[in-house]
A and B are shown apart, each in its own frame.
Chain A
């Protein structure tokens, strides 16, 4: 499976935008980029996914580099409830969608 690299931690002020980066230089053409997050004392939850084009949903936006070797999860206005560990995961189309979690980025949001 292609590997992803994320910073260990990031900080943000509440109400500010947050850009969470992910590098995946060995991504293959059929790998989807998925983001999950894990709030304290909860199971992981799906955030967003994309293949080539940028994606938006009610939770976040996903910006994918033209060469697909990196992507950025964008939280437009961070709130205290967004404090979590964010995981960037590659899933190959047509596979069982097994999730291989790395260490993720721990996002701290302060007032």
Chain B
């Protein structure tokens, strides 16, 4: 299995531009999570999906952020317009909900720099 796939791995953009981060979860996993990591705030959950449905988006910082999961094998996190404070590493993770408690598998992350 290829694991969780994220693209792009690095993104440099200018303030005000739209940014789209992509994630392909592990096949068969039915939960998907988006996290953000910064030096100041550490790792924080932005949103998670169960069976393609957004369950909890309380971690999404503001309306400039949106996430979608059109099918079980693809999710996007969009920032429009982007700001320098959005610079961070964004991780996608997936898990299977079979069983009481199961581990999350993380992708390699997308390092976003907003100039």
Interface residues of A (CB under 8 A from B): 32, 34, 38, 42-46, 49, 91, 93-94, 96-103
Contact = CB atoms under 8 A, between A and B. Distances in A.
A33 B33 CA distance: 20
Interface stretch (B41-49, B64-72, B77-85): B41-49
Contacts of A97: 31, 95, 101-102, 104
Interface in B50-65: 50, 55-56
A49 B31 contact: no
Interface of B: 4, 31, 33, 35, 42-45, 48, 50, 55-56, 91, 93, 95, 100-109
A98 B44 contact: no
Nearest to B31: A96
30 contacts: A32-B101, A34-B101, A34-B103, A38-B43, A43-B4, A43-B93, A43-B107, A43-B108, A43-B109, A44-B43, A44-B91, A46-B103, A46-B104, A46-B105, A49-B101, A49-B103, A93-B100, A94-B100, A96-B31, A96-B50, A97-B31, A97-B95, A97-B102, A98-B33, A98-B45, A99-B33, A99-B35, A99-B45, A101-B44, A102-B42
A37 to B, nearest CB: 11
Given A96-B48, A96-B55, A97-B101, A42 B33 contact: no
Contacts of A96: 31, 48, 50, 55-56
Contacts of A94: 100
